[in-house]
Structure formats: C-alpha cells, structure tokens
Structure 1
Amino acid sequence: MVYGIVVAGGQGTRLGRKKQFLDLAGSPVWVRAVRALLDAGVAPVWLVVPREDVDKLSVEADDMGLPLRLTAGGETRFDSVYNGLREVHTWYAEVGLSNGAGSAGSPSPAGPALVAVHDAARPFVSSEDVKNVVRMAAQTGAAILARPCAETVKRVEAGCITSTVPRETLWLAETPQVFRLDWMWDAYRRVHMPSAATDDAWVMEQAGYRVHVVPSTAENRKITTPADWEYAQLWAQQRWGRRDG
C-alpha cells in the first residue's frame, strides 16, 4: 500500500502567482503532479492546498474523477506535510487496517504502508521514476528521488569564495520522497526545529532514520521562479503538445 501526499500549499511568493494552479499544456500544474503518482499506482492521494482553496479544489477534483482527498496546508512546508500526514495516518488507522492491512505498528503480509510525498511544483516527474523510488522504499523503509550534482559548488562568505566543495558525494534532492508510514509519523511528531526542514528526508535524518537515494532518470525540474515557468511551458509543449491552456 502506497499513499500519496502532494504538497500544493504555497502562495507563489517568488513567482508572483500560485504556481500550482497555473495551466500547463491544458491541465493545472497540480493535476500533472497528482497524475504522475496515480499513474505509478500511488493511491489514494491527499492534496494539500491553501485553506482558502480547499472547497474550490474539492469540486474540481470531483469533476475530474480523481481519487483525491483535500486538506488545508500550514504556514510552512513542514506544517503542510504534517497536516497531510495526519490525515493519512488517521485514514489508515480507520480504513486501511479494517481492509486487512495488519495492525498498527506491524506490517501487513504485503509489507508496511508507505507514504510518497511529492511537490506539486514538480509536474514532470516520470511514473517510472516514481515506481523506482517506491520500490526502494519498500525494501529499505526510506528513499528519495535525487540527482547527482553536476555543477561545481562553492562555499561563499561575505560575497567571496572560501572553498570549493567536492561534488562527488553531493546530490540534489527531488521528490517524490517515500517512507514507511509508521517511521514518518514517528519522525514528524518528535522532530526539533521543524522550521529548518526543507524536505522530508531532513526530518527523517533528524529522527535517526537512514534514507536511501534513487537516481532520477528523467526531467523533474521544480517550478519556482519566472524563468522556471518559462522553461516549464516550453517543456510541456514538447511533452504534451500545447503551450497554453
């Protein structure tokens, strides 16, 4: 069992608009991200959006026939993921276990339940990459999609380079990030300084869990800046055949 959380709770500060709702070759960005998980067999999916958008998105998801559950995000990414995780954990305890998933704290015959957390701002992730990271998490309990760092990395202080960081061991974290539900629930409830969490792997690391890396094989760029959005439109045109909705 693999449940999904798609984080779409941002306000689009750097882009100037809520990027998750922008049209990308005929579909909203968040729909592209959700479908990537669904196509890989991750279901159901909890979509975490700004509180003011929950009702509107619930109607849109129903109209599209998507197996989604909507929940409100928080002030930070950590808060938004935690809100979604709490919903998943409650649903699993009430529904998943009654469907033969085993008992709380113990895996079912098919293995422990997993949670795949994905950023709505990464609409291009391939279903095969999602499947690969899910398979690794099923074996190890914790895995993320990531890309080896190809650029030269400099450490800078006061505007000057102080050293060059060897890139052989550096990876750029992506999503989805997939973890055992019981491990993730434990980590999120006892992490210190949650404001420092830039991704879910950081939370797991702080809680003492070993997180494995799965190399991404396809385009999985995150939409953050206006330049990213321009690139996303061009790439979407090549992939899905339209530039504008």
Structure 2
Amino acid sequence: MEYTVMIPAAGSGKRMGAGMNKLFLELSNKPILVHTLLVFEQDPACAGIIIAVKREEKPQIQAMIEQFGVTKIKALVDGGEERQQSVAACLQAYDKDDIVLVHDAARPFIRRHVIGALVETAARAGAAIAGVRTKDTMKLAPEGTVEKTVDREGLWIIQTPQAFRYGILKAASDQAAAAGFLGTDESMLVERIGHPVKIVESTYDNIKMTTKEDLLFGEVLLKQSGGLER
C-alpha cells in the first residue's frame, strides 16, 4: 500500500550545539537529512515526500536533494516556529484522502518493515504510531523527589513515523490550530479529537539525532549495518 511521508525539517536543533542546523551534519559523508530521505526514496511503497523547511535553508536543501538523487520530493514548504505548524504546512500542500506518515527528519534509522506495519495499521484503524516498550524502571517525581514507582507494564517510548488517514490528521490539525492547542506529537492531536491510536512495535535503534552522543552511536549503527538500505 502506498503512502506519502511528511518531514518537518525547520527546527533549530539547539541541543546538538553545532551552531548550524543539525540535519546538515554528516554521518558517513552524508547529511543526516539525506540519510532520512533515502530511506523513503528507496521504499517502493513511498509515493512522495513533502518537507517543511526554513525559507532561508531551502536552497541548501534543494541542492542536497539534487546531489544525492532524491526524486520523490513533491514539495518544499515553508515551516513554522513549531513542529506542529510545519506539519500543518505539509498537510496544506496535500489533498489526497489516503495514508500519510509524519517522520522526524533527524531519525534516519527507521526500518522498512516498521513503516509497512504502520501503513497497514493506519489503513485499517485510521491512526498508528511507532514505539518501543520501556525497559527501565519508571519513577514519578514532579518536583525532583520520587512520589511513586510507576508500573512500566504498558508504558511505551514513542518514536516516528506516525501514520494516519489524511482526513483524520487534517481534521485534528485544523481543530488544534483553531483552539490554539499545541501538542507534542501528531498522535496527541488525534487523541484530542477522540480517535483511537494504535501502537506498532518499532526497534530500539530507531534513534533521533539530538545530541553529539547520538552522532557517535549513529556512526556505530551505520558500520554495523553496512548502510541504511533496508
């Protein structure tokens, strides 16, 4: 089943402390963003890619797309100050009522079988998100002092992609914007309008490049896998 993926890439990446957009940093001689784009470029089920970018970075990103032969780009739209605004801009540039994915631009290690499972689940249930079960003991400590130990059974660490039927995500996005509500991910917006969201089990190596330590781990993953082709 085909899908279109929307990638918000207009963030600042301050936690990386690189003094530049972290998506331009390289893993094995390719920018992080390019690694992520190539995952979808190489997936036969991916019908297109829509990216939200900073207007001033658009020429640089366009040059990357051309240099590395990414052919599935359908639009480069202007991103917003918040991720939610960037995703809304991507949704505005699309109008087919089929399956859309939202994926972090700095998460290049997603595996194709997880993408496929997300698409199938979203087609059936309307909404599906990637996640892994928490392995650590969880504590509730709002003020820095433990109030209780939380039962980790049933707790998930949520990743991307997040997959939806277009109409469901568009309605959730529009309603959130009208109410001035800012969510932490797309699933939160869909949950807010009362639509159930299914979880698809992902892999623990589907990490997001957020800190310098993540870059080191990313290089190790690339060496172990021999590349990102899935």
Matched, 1:49 2:50: no
Matched, 1:64 2:68: yes
5+ unaligned residues in a row in structure 2: which ranges? none
Instruction: Indicate the percent of aligned positions where both proteins have the same amino acid.
Output: 32
Shift of the alpha carbon at 1:217? 3.6
Match in the other structure for 2:4: 3
Instruction: Measure, in 1, the Cα distance between the counterparts of 2:206 and 2:30.
Output: 17
Match in the other structure for 2:215: 229
Match in the other structure for 1:85: 91
Residues 37-96 of structure 1 deviation map (CA, whole Å, 9 limit, x = unaligned): 23332221012222211122123313433221211211011111111111123xx4xxxx
Counterpart residue identity of residue 108, structure 2: P
Instruction: Measure, in 2, the Cα distance between the counterparts of 1:138 and 1:124.
Output: 23
Instruction: Measure, in 1, the Cα distance between the counterparts of 2:63 and 2:35.
Output: 17
Match in the other structure for 2:181: 194
How much is the aligned-residue C-alpha RMSD, in angstroms? 1.8
Instruction: Measure, in 2, the Cα distance between the counterparts of 1:146 and 1:208.
Output: 20
2:7 and 2:51 in contact (8 A); partners too: yes
1:154 and 1:163 in contact (8 A); partners too: yes
Q: How does 1:142-181 map to 2 (within 5 A)?
A: 142-181=127-166
Match in the other structure for 2:38: 35
Residues 159-207 of structure 1 deviation map (CA, whole Å, 9 limit, x = unaligned): 2101111111111111110000111111100024433x11110111011
Instruction: Measure, in 2, the Cα distance between the counterparts of 1:121 and 1:220.
Output: 10
Shift of the alpha carbon at 1:211? 0.6
1:5 and 1:118 in contact (8 A); partners too: yes
Instruction: Measure, in 2, the Cα distance between the counterparts of 1:215 and 1:188.
Output: 25
5+ unaligned residues in a row in structure 1: which ranges? 93-111
- Helix, strand or coil: the match of 2:141? strand
Residues 3-57 of structure 1 deviation map (CA, whole Å, 9 limit, x = unaligned): 1111221111000132211111122111111222233322210122222111221
Counterpart residue identity of residue 91, structure 2: L
Counterpart residue identity of residue 185, structure 2: D
Instruction: Measure, in 2, the Cα distance between the counterparts of 1:224 and 1:15.
Output: 6
Matched, 1:216 2:202: yes
Match in the other structure for 1:137: 122
Instruction: Measure, in 2, the Cα distance between the counterparts of 1:155 and 1:27.
Output: 40
